[in-house]
Chain A
């Protein structure tokens, strides 16, 4: 045992030294914003999209195709959990013991948790947040319900349906941009029709639309993972 630990420590030290040697020349802390693409983002975000949050503009607008790939990664992860758990056919939950604290907290907190999760991704162009934490908060609400109420199990058909609908809607928004503006995921809301005032909820072009779609998709997929994991194989 002790020899193995020494080897593990030596490996860790070796790993950190080689990582240090590899990234020592990058020069973190220097100002590299002046001549790179980051300066363009900071200067032109409000002019291009009327969104106040630069990060969300980069994620949805300037680098929208990467976000599509990221959503696909999450979709593949959810599907693979479903494939792994497909042999558990039963619809019964475990005999998880619930307490009055769980039940009361589930009744009172569940709507608030969902509203907070929706707030996170709807207001993404104004406040910090993102589609991933928003969807995770929604899935946490589902987890709270599943822990509090023994018989509750999210509907499998509803999960599959809303997952495919929201995934298709994202591609559809991209295709509408292709039809109107000439390239995939073109911001047709602001750049063609000019909708939106800076600082209000309706601003930022199509950022709130896309964030709502992928936030719902993320929440549904994480709930689907919980659904697959919570099914019992007895009976």
Chain B
């Protein structure tokens, strides 16, 4: 029994994509979330290449993994959004600060 290498690559890509997407949502560290977002885009661009859409793969790699990560980083620095603020927000969510 032989395994198609493309199929194997697809399975590995899908698993990594799902894991990094979950990390991007769940992590408290914003820069790590950003890196995971770029990773998802990179995997998606490889996926598009496997599906024989090189145009879309190129766009996804340059926009999703390249430029949007930079723009997000600038936006984070601009708003001064940090981990501590996010934790404060969580506490506010639980009603600690509203008392």
Contact = CB atoms under 8 A, between A and B. Distances in A.
B78 interface: yes
A136 B62 contact: yes
Contacts of B61: 133
Interface string B50-74: 0000110011011100110011001
Contacts of B32: none
Contacts of A120: 58
B54 A128 contact: yes
B19 interface: no
B86 interface: no
A82 interface: no
Contact of A128 (B58, B62, B67, B74): B58
A132 B63 contact: yes
A35 B92 CA distance: 59
Interface string A92-104: 0010100000000
Nearest to A94: B77
B66 A140 contact: yes
Interface string A111-134: 000000000100000001110110
A141 B67 CA distance: 10
A214 to B, nearest CB: 14
Nearest to B67: A136
Interface of B: 54-55, 58-59, 61-63, 66-67, 70-71, 74-75, 77-78, 93
29 contacts: A55-B55, A94-B77, A96-B77, A120-B58, A128-B54, A128-B55, A128-B58, A129-B55, A129-B58, A130-B58, A132-B63, A133-B58, A133-B59, A133-B61, A136-B59, A136-B62, A136-B63, A136-B67, A137-B62, A137-B66, A140-B62, A143-B66, A143-B70, A147-B70, A222-B67, A229-B74, A229-B75, A229-B78, A230-B74
